[in-house]
Amino acid sequence: MDTRFLESLLIVIEQGSIAGAARRQHLTPATVAQRIRTLEDEIGCTLLQREGRNVRPTEHALAILEQSQKILSSVRELCTIATSNTLVGKLQLGAIASAANGLLPPYLKRFFESFPDIELHIVPGTSFALHNAVLDGALDAAFIVEPPFEIPPSCIWKRLRSEPLVVLTSQKITETDPYEILQTYPFIRYDRNHWGGRLADEYLKSAGIWPHERLELDSLDAIAIMVNQGTGVSLVPDWALPWPKNVRLKKISLPPPAPCRHLGVFSRRNAPKQRLITSLLDVLGSPLAAT
């Protein structure tokens, strides 16, 4: 399908006439009419209802209107990227909540300073869901927990931060032995559907600790709030600030070597927007200045 013909259709719908679209595109009415007929033949349905000198879109044309606009927008973006000496375009990025709130902001600030014409769209989700979205091509890259399985050769993994597991307690708890705390106090479990939660669960089992489980939550912020109010203790990754406001917690280290949740960026090699992704990875590969 020739996208110029698709553009003619959209302009005809906007102008309400073939003659108006022809003037807009500096073409003859016959040329515009032929483009519409070619589109109708390719798609297999009537796209315009003629009423004298005016036309209006059929239901078939209205059904493809929004997608046609997106196609033309993407084509224009590709042309701009191909002919520009500067990086322009849009990246669809996934990010787990703790990465979006704590890890990403300083990196993204520097990225926009270096590449002001690149637009980023951040999609939230779990590491598992975002990992699969990258593989499916729905996302260009994702900031997730390092997968608990081998990264395929067709993909790229760049580690950005390692977060050791720590025992979280309220300020009121005076004990300092992490094993004693985990075995004694009500336990708030980090959701085992998350790779970080699975890491904590595997550690408890390997240490022979069977805590008195009170509840299981999928949000680290929610766990911090519950621990702060004395509902229980937890075993979680020492995730990046900021933490929830007004929480005053104790973080008790595990005996070394403590297992770590590794955060990083996951992408595909030879992705359609590899040039933009490479620029992002270059920024992520440079150490941040101390603040």
Most confident by average pLDDT, 38-47, 241-250, 255-264: 255-264
Residue type, 152: P
For 97, phi and psi rounded to 5 degrees?
-60, -45
- As a whole number of angstroms, the distance between CA 15 and CA 9 comes to 10
103-112 long-range contacts (CB < 8 A, ≥24 apart) are 103/143, 103/160, 103/161, 103/240, 103/263, 104/143, 106/288, 106/291, 107/160, 107/283, 107/284, 107/288, 110/283, 110/286, 110/288, 111/279, 111/280, 111/283
CB half-sphere exposure, 99, CA atoms < 13 A: 29
For 86, phi and psi rounded to 5 degrees?
-105, 155
Instruction: Report helix, strand or coil for 97.
Output: helix
Confidence of residue 291 (pLDDT cuts 50, 70, 90): very low
Q: pTM above 0.75?
A: no
Residue whose C-alpha is closest to residue 34's, from 20, 22, 52: 22
Compare 89 and 173 and report the one with higher pLDDT.
Answer: 173
For 165, phi and psi rounded to 5 degrees?
-65, 140
Virtual CA dihedral for 148, 154, 159, 163, nearest 10 degrees?
Answer: -10
Tens-digit pLDDT profile for residues 191-238 = 999 999 999 999 999 999 999 999 999 999 999 999 999 999 999 999
Whole-number pLDDT of residue 290: 44
Report percent pLDDT > 70 for the chain.
Answer: 94
